């Protein structure tokens, strides 16, 4: 099975259908150079302060020679305003998550990831691995996206994916020939289902690979990234109602109720 690839003008319903079938899909031409530059510019001061993992421990989830920062709602208005609620992402989430969460889906993780020369392959995993309550193959809980800020090539650590593995039972392991690099030019996005085996590829080149990962989950599960601690209240107040809902600052039916007089500091 291969990785389906489409251009940005393809109907979103075709892209979502291909994602459901293969478990992953690349869409090219969704982020222009100006937006990519704004993202790296806004994140540069925090990225520069973040140490690169120098020592590689093969047992560790995060390989050496990589670095990452999360809390992108707090750190990048470009990511927040242009990527988090991107219309294509919304269509994909509506197709694959909304049937399992009638009151809406939410941002699960936001992070910028750099894979440097010499980084090894990351251990293959599924975004839905924390939800051990459900046996494999699980119902759809998560949809993930990786936005290519630089080119993603096989030699610079393009994400490894195992097409079709979102439908596998627990005892099915990936054969080497089934593990593919999701190569894509800068400005493209890779979507994958939360049940898909994937991980960062090894970087044997001299370049750093830079991507923004945004994942989404059913509104009734715990978010992997704690947005209540990662996004300051003043920043929450700046978000549109739509973004506030997606980032998780809204109720899901009765879940997550709060007292607005405390949250806003205004008395009734």
Ligand X SMILES: O=C(O)CCC(=O)C(=O)O
Binding site for ligand X (CB under 6 A): 113, 122, 146, 159, 198-200, 211, 213
Is 68 or 244 the residue whose CB approaches ligand X more closely? 68
Radius of gyration of the chain, Cα coordinates, nearest whole angstrom = 18
Side-chain half-sphere of 33: how many Cα atoms within 13 Å? 0
Query: Looking at 8-159, which runs of residues are DSSP E strands?
Result: 24-28, 66-70, 105-115, 142-148
Q: In angstroms, give the least distance from the CB of 43 to ligand X.
A: 15
**Tokens matching residue 72:** 């992108």
Q: Is 65 within 8 Å of 115 (Cβ atoms)?
A: yes
Q: In angstroms, give the least distance from the CB of 264 to ligand X.
A: 35
Q: In angstroms, give the least distance from the CB of 122 to ligand X.
A: 6
Rounded Cα–Cα distance for residues 221 and 8 (Å): 31
Q: In angstroms, give the least distance from the CB of 11 to ligand X.
A: 27
Is 113 or 218 the residue whose CB approaches ligand X more closely? 113
Is 146 or 218 the residue whose CB approaches ligand X more closely? 146
Is 159 or 239 the residue whose CB approaches ligand X more closely? 159
150: nearest Cα among 187, 113, 121, 119:
187
């Amino acid at each position: 099975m291969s990785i389906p690839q489409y251009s940005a003008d393809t109907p979103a319903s075709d892209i979502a259908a291909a994602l459901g079938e293969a478990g992953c899909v690349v869409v090219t031409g969704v982020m222009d150079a100006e937006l990519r530059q704004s993202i790296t510019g806004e994140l540069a001061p925090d990225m520069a302060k973040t140490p690169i993992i120098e020592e590689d421990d093969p047992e560790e989830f995060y390989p050496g020679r990589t670095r990452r920062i999360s809390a992108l709602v707090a750190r990048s208005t470009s990511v927040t305003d242009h990527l988090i609620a991107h219309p294509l992402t919304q269509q994909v989430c509506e197709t694959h998550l909304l049937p399992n969460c009638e009151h809406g889906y939410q941002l699960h993780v936001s992070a910028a990831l750099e894979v440097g020369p010499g980084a090894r392959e990351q251990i293959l995993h599924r975004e839905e691995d924390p939800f051990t309550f459900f046996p494999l193959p699980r119902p759809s809980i998560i949809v993930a996206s990786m936005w290519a800020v630089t080119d993603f090539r096989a030699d610079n650590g393009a994400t490894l994916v195992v097409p079709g593995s979102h439908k596998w039972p627990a005892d099915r392991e990936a054969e080497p020939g089934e593990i593919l690099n999701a190569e894509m030019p800068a400005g493209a996005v890779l979507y994958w289902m939360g049940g898909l085996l994937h991980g960062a590829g090894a970087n044997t080149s001299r370049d750093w690979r830079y991507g923004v990962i945004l994942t989404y989950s059913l509104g009734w599960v715990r978010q992997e990234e704690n947005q209540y601690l990662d996004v300051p209240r003043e920043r929450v107040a700046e978000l549109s109602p739509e973004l506030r809902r997606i980032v998780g600052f809204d109720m899901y039916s009765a879940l997550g109720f709060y007292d607005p007089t405390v949250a806003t500091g205004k008395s009734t």
